[in-house]
Structure 1
Amino acid sequence: MTLRELVEQNRTRRKFDQSKSIPAGDLVELVDMARFVPTGMNKQPLKYLVTTDPEQCAQIFPLLGWAGYLKDWAGPDEGQRPTGYIVIVLDKEIAETPGCDHGIAAQTIMLGAVEKGLGGCIIATVNRGKLGRIFNLPGRFEILLVLALGIPAQEVVVEPLPSDGSIKYWTGEDGRHHVPKRGLDEVLLARYPEE
């Protein structure tokens, strides 16, 4: 699979086949890959928590916000929930802020997940206090993002923005999730030399 194919297939997934577990080793491999990404000043301040334990996954699930535009949806139902999580954490003894390191790491992990046949959702709306207590996380660590992972159980359709320009994603009656994306002509401001 080419990098472009991985990027195009790397859609936010919010429904999973909960009957299919993920080997914890797969998530560890994804973290091992992420440790090679560039970091600001090469400080490498990110740390990771990995779990595929069903009991821990059940504790983590209600601590997450799932889809801001889907106001009447509290997240995936039982049977469609993630079967693994990677929590990206900042070690504040190494750096006070993560810069953009956690974004680079999260996207790298998600691309690797797609390559493994997984799907996921990068979540920043997190009850950090409660999540930290689940893992007995010392105060020097700040939870940045949670990556919810599993075997995808929902089709995601990428389509052009509608005529009203709305960027809001939505789920159709057929269960497919629709994500409007701006076209290249809208995001490319200049090109030199011009044709």
Structure 2
Amino acid sequence: MGPLTAVLLLSGCAGDFGAGIAELPAAQGWQPLPIGGWVLNDGIEARTMVVCPRENCAQQGFASVLAFSGREADKMELALKADPERLARLFSKPPSDPARKPAAPKPAAGKADSRPKSTTRVSRFEAEGASGLLVEIRAREAEAIDTGTKSAATAILHGREGDRLVLAIAVSAEADSARRDAVAAWRGR
């Protein structure tokens, strides 16, 4: 393929990529995702999404800006305002899928440990005039010691812009990074 062909093909895709997030630039490893052709449910708009993959970043991460309208906005706003303990339970246990077969019970080799394999903590914060939610999931201590600390954090900033509910979401291994990236996404909305 010649250089001209490559340029033409890439220029055809240029409109499919989101605008990126100014405070999470490509120079630091952040890459915009091609969201232009995505078909989402009515009432949900993906404005921009960026990812910083492990090979480019010391702290890999994901950040996005989404907008909800109509019933979708109302449902999302209610979910975000729910009791933090309820949110923690929702994040720590995915909804059941009736079509999915239950796992076969494992044979007991001694007494089984019935404690959860991870802990989930949800807290609220405010930044840039928006309400925020921070969800932290950590592996149980015994397993974390054996394998290194395993954790994930999701930070969500949300607020109304006219009839739309706008969310800035960031995911990272550490809570401080997730919060920082969500604030950057919120500023770039």
TM-score class, shorter: under 0.3
Structure with larger Rg? 2
Highest RCO, 1 vs 2 (Cα 8 Å, sep ≥ 6): 1
Bigger strand share: 2
Give the TM-score taking structure 2 as reference length. Answer: 0.22
